[in-house]
Chain A
């Protein structure tokens, strides 16, 4: 069959064969001495620019992503071409989404951003109330007499409201006396203080709670010993919305 296509293909094949023979010819007779190396260089000097150019093209092509291996990914079960991760099973989506929904808190929950001193009362994606609060100061208190150390951080994590109280009574812990330069009293009744915690308190466990304050002007600053302080109105709203078991997320 004659024609321009045949001629073109034959021409291509001819040049392909010639080019393919070049590397073989270049190393067919390995130069062994200086004279042979000089002869080799005289014969092949014209290849140097080509080799340099080819190397530059390879580096640039690799860098620019022009050269790509045309991968295709086949699902071994169906034989259908898919993406690298496979096509996936749509029926898997719903159980995963349901499992995620089940993990989300039901009903109102409390979120505390302790660095920014903000408390959010939320339900689902909605913010029901945003309040300015105060969180732990980060102070380290050392009792040089007994060697005890307290770190006044608000803990991060998930807590639950364990108890709700109206007009809570504060049983002052040892650090509250040490901080004032006093020795903790022996009698428990000497530790009782009324009104310090405000109108309500939500107990989170380990001595941490959300409570009120006598110093509302300090709200928004990190001044507490680890508890969360709220203003009067916000505390009432949070107290009314929260139930025993309500999740409190502190970050």
Chain B
């Protein structure tokens, strides 16, 4: 006979088994048997292969855009680049330093945005702030010596004529805002929405645009992109590889 010592002394051990009662022990045995049965029953389902649907959808949209005469942007977050394309031709490539999107926090919890926009074509992009127009008008009455002849006007180079703001937006009709930030100011406050936007959306009242993607570009690239975008630009975002 084994003498019990220390903390175990004086405790009942029915049936010489552990501290659990008999019904509880039965429960655990049944649960164990069930777990084993589930684990051993048949083959485990095959791991689902990665979906190619987003890639197919992306290529379809890209092909559709390439068949149109519309200038479009293709953002590839994986390759960290944004491309300007027209009719299947790659016109410009701007390296992207970072692609981020703000995660809203409400009551200290993070709210994830809906990602259904990833493969769609975002249309009717508008620059915010808009570019100033440098158009000017001259009226001449030919052969009239009193009519002023326009003087040769030497315009400023584009860098001076159209100064790009350090932070600017392309706003699309579907609510997506693409915020482009020059690298030199990327650490500063941007136009990213605050937590109050998420709170307003939570209660169904939002006057803000939806998801805002933020691209950090080299200063020159950001300025060149700002100047060269035509009105009604479209955007396509490449899905992850």
Instruction: Count A-B contacts at CB 8 Å.
Output: 209
Is B51 a contact of A88 with CB atoms below 8 Å?
yes
Known: A1-B23, A96-B63. A156 touches B230 (CB 8 A): yes
Tell me the bound Cα distance from A85 to B158 in angstroms.
44
* A88 near B109: Cβ-Cβ < 8 Å: no
Among A106-154, those with CB < 8 Å from B are 109, 111, 113, 115-117, 120, 122, 124-125, 137-145
A63 touches B (CB below 8 Å): yes
Q: Do residues A104 and B51 form an inter-chain contact, with CB atoms below 8 A? A: no
The B-contacting residues of A in range 158-186, CB under 8 angstroms, are: 158, 177-184
A173 to B112, CA, bound (A): 61
Nearest chain A CB to B157 CB, angstrom units: 5
A15 at the interface (CB under 8 A from B): no
Contact between chains at B52 and A59 (CB < 8 Å): no
* B44 contacts the other chain (CB 8 A): no
Q: Is the CB of A80 within 8 A of B48?
A: yes
Name the interface residues of B27-80: CB closer than 8 Å to any CB of A: 27, 48-49, 51-57, 59-60, 62-63, 66-67, 69, 71
Residue A2 lies at the interface, judged by CB distance under 8 Å to chain B: yes
Is A88 a contact of B230 with CB atoms below 8 Å? no
Residues in A whose Cβ lies below 8 Å from that of B109: 60, 64-66
Interface size on B, residues (CB 8 A): 71
Interface size class of A (residues with CB under 8 A): 35 or more
Interface: A70 (CB within 8 A) = no
B86 at interface (Cβ–Cβ under 8 A)? yes
The residue in chain B whose Cβ has the minimal distance to the Cβ of A153 is B135
A241 at the binding interface (Cβ < 8 Å): no
Q: Once bound together, how far apart are the Cα atoms of A183 and B145, in whole Å?
A: 12
Instruction: State which of A3, A60, A93, A144 has its C-beta within 8 Å of the C-beta of B56.
Output: A93
Ordered by A's residue number, 18 sampled pairs between the chains whose C-beta atoms are within 8 Å are A59-B202, A64-B202, A80-B48, A87-B51, A88-B54, A100-B63, A100-B66, A100-B88, A104-B90, A105-B89, A139-B153, A141-B150, A143-B140, A178-B142, A179-B149, A181-B147, A218-B154, A221-B156
Chain A interface residues toward B at CB < 8 A: 1-5, 59-60, 62-66, 80-90, 92-93, 96-97, 99-100, 102-105, 109, 111, 113, 115-117, 120, 122, 124-125, 137-145, 156-158, 177-184, 218, 220-223, 247, 249, 251
